[in-house]
Amino acid sequence: MTGRDRVNAALTFTEPDRIPRDLWALPFISLFHQKDLDDFMQRFSMDIGRAELAPGAGEERLHRLAKPGTYTDEWGSIWQVGEPGIIGEVKKPVLSDWTTLPHFQPPWQEIRHRDFSHVNRQCEASDQYMISEVTARPFERIQFLRGSENTYMELAYQTKEIRSLIERVHDYYLQDIESWCRSDVDGIFFMDDWGSAHSLLIHPDMWRSMFKPLYRDYCDLIHQSGKHAFFHTDGFIEPIFNDLIEVGIDAINCQLFCMNIEKLGRLYKGKITFWGEMDRQHILPFGSPEDIRKAVARVHSALYDPRGGVIAQCEWGKDNSRATIETVFQAWDE
């Protein structure tokens, strides 16, 4: 099987020849450990690839993270990079004052009149399963625009301003996803971080009333184009896990070790593809090789189905050695 065939088989439960592999190398690794990354990729072939809109687009994004400083994102908010290779955080949200909301416009220039010729050439040349760049992230984007504290306050009070902002952001992301659906990628990637270590960040009922309909719209667009919906989220999301399946997400990347993995397997194995991940808070930075093997074995025992439904995904960050990441994928092979 090619990588594309293998991932498709995992998503559709049609018996891949092995569990597909996917590595997320964070900016610090790409910037400062490229040789280790290249050597690793020579040893372990990955089954999922990322499409770039234009040649060198990824290098441009990496460049702004190469040293401490500030940058302004395409929406107008100012980010602070405090450490080389680390994404940083928003320090000056563009909508910190609601008086600017009537004149605020999303960055339509980023998505209208896109040229997907480079993306399509990458897809044609690769036998990997190709996914889009990150598209929709409505909850996170609102925080980037307004600030997290303001966002939570206004969600609690259901202000007309926050509802207006959600509507504008959602309209932008619908068009963003629709444009990617016209490309040759196999899957569309969207995300939002919804959990702390032990609970959902907002009440599940609020999530279902305000954000679940947005996700359903995204998945409907993706499926209408014949593509799969890939979703990432951090933290404890057990209260809305079934809702994510209901809206149509095909593959979910989540922090399994924040939750009861065995319970997730009992309830949802066979209904969605578990797209990783390994515990990057404790096991990857601090665990022994045996700890890592036991963690992989636990995920395998709880979630594996020979028909599919599992992708062996791992994140390689600043605090992880090459040997650690190799142990993860060796354990999956074993």
* From the candidate CATH numbers 3.20.20.210, 3.30.70.890, 3.40.50.360, 3.30.70.20, the one assigned to the domain spanning 3-66+95-333: 3.20.20.210
Q: How far is CA 301 from CA 17, 94, 254, 330, in A?
A: 18, 46, 17, 16
User: According to the model, what pLDDT value does residue 46 have?
Assistant: 98
Give the tokens for residue 280.
């990057």
User: According to the model, what pLDDT value does residue 61 have?
Assistant: 84
User: According to the model, what pLDDT value does residue 20 have?
Assistant: 98
- Dist CA 25 CA 213 (whole Å): 32
User: According to the model, what pLDDT value does residue 315 have?
Assistant: 97
What's CA 65's distance to the chain center, in Å?
19
Contact (CB, 8 A) for 276 and 253 = yes
Residues in CB range of 249: below 8 A, 6 or more apart: 215, 219, 229, 230, 231, 272
User: According to the model, what pLDDT value does residue 58 have?
Assistant: 81
User: pLDDT tens digits for the chain (334 residues)?
Assistant: 999 999 999 999 999 999 999 999 999 999 999 999 999 999 999 999 999 998 878 888 888 899 999 999 999 999 999 999 999 999 999 999 999 999 999 999 999 989 999 999 999 999 999 999 999 999 999 999 999 999 999 999 999 999 999 999 999 999 999 999 999 999 999 999 999 999 999 999 999 999 999 999 999 999 999 999 999 999 999 999 999 999 999 999 999 999 999 999 999 999 999 999 999 999 999 999 999 999 999 999 999 999 999 999 999 999 999 999 999 999 999 9
Contact (CB, 8 A) for 227 and 204 = no
User: According to the model, what pLDDT value does residue 65 have?
Assistant: 94
Contact (CB, 8 A) for 328 and 36 = no
User: According to the model, what pLDDT value does residue 132 have?
Assistant: 97
User: According to the model, what pLDDT value does residue 138 have?
Assistant: 98
